[in-house]
Structures are given as structure tokens and as C-alpha cells.
Chains A and B, each alone.
Chain A
């Protein structure tokens, strides 16, 4: 059963540190999404890529967040410097074009 794989599953770090989250999309999927989930805001779309090109990153704080797809099997989301308000669960999802998304199990990030 194909799955989206996210690493790490949990990350605790101090504010000011760089955080890198990784995502391996399902093989054959050409669209990758990054979401942030909090109790207050629910699921927020941060950015998404199609065929490795960024299509929309308007939901992402540009001064500290960056998202890339170095190749078709890896997507990364970086936060530098991290702040306590970045604490959330970050989900990666992938799809084939506009088909329904398949989500990973998330990275639970805590910034102290």
C-alpha cells in the first residue's frame, strides 16, 4: 500500500534553531502539498508543487519558511529561525495532478 512518508515524526527544538522536515511522496505522484495543522487554525495550506515547480506558496511566511523539491522523490520544508508560534503538526500530501490527496502522518513540531 503506497504511502507518503514524513520524517521526522516528532521534533523538539529551541527557538532560533533551523528545522528541516522531509517528505517522500507516493511514487508517480507529481503534486506535493505542505500543510500546517493547529487547534486554532485547522489545516492551513502552506505551499504546493507540481512537477517539482512551486505553484503557490502564499500561505507560507516567506521570511522564515522555505519549501523545495530537490528531486521527484523528496520535498523539504525548512524553518529558519524557528519560533514558538511555529509549533504545530506539519503534513505533507501528494497526488497525481488534481486527484484527491494522500497525506503522510505528519511531523509534530515543538519549539521551546
Chain B
């Protein structure tokens, strides 16, 4: 059973546009929600993360929006650039336990 559901599977955005990736979960024991970025031939790298007591976190062009009541969180990439083309994974952690990853979103930003 997939603990974290991620959509869409793939996304194509024009340069300068906004990329939005969504994740949903059921387990209310999750206490930490990171996003990872993966380039071809590389391992996933931590991009940005949020805790459930915060509704939004912004770092540069990357923003996480968190809706605790809906059990959903999303990654927004503003002013998307070709260099942002990568696979993005959301994840969720149960304190004292492991991380659960979404299935990934392949983002392509076209010039």
C-alpha cells in the first residue's frame, strides 16, 4: 500500500511557468515532509522540507504548501527553468521510524 500518493507522474512546463506537484497521505503520525530532487545518474537530494505545524515554506523559487486538514502537500516551482528538469519525490516521516516516498514526478521545463 502506497503511504504517500504523488501526482502527476510527469509534467511539462514552459520556461517561466509554475510547476506544481501534489502529494497526499493518510497516516496522521507523519511529522515531517521533505521533497527530493533527482537528476539523471544521481541520487535524490533534499530540496526543501516542512513540518505539519506550518502551512507554507518558501526557499527561493521553491515553495511547499501544506494542508493538514486535507492531508495534502504540494511543491510549487516558480519561474521554472530548464535546469529544474528532474524527477521530484515527496516523502513523509514517522518520528522514530522510516521515510515513505511518493512514486516521483518527472518534470520537463521547455525553453
Contacts and interface: CB of A to CB of B under 8 A. Distances in A.
A25 to B, nearest CB: 13
A106 to B, nearest CB: 6
Report whether over half of chain A's contact residues are helix, strand or loop; otherwise say mixed: strand
A98 B49 CA distance: 14
B101 A43 contact: yes
Contacts of A101: 46, 99
Nearest to B99: A101
Given A42-B103, A105-B41, A106-B42, 4 more contacts: A43-B89, A91-B43, A101-B46, A103-B44
Interface of A: 4, 33, 42-43, 45, 48, 56, 91, 93, 98, 100-106
6 contacts: A42-B101, A43-B101, A56-B98, A93-B43, A102-B46, A106-B42
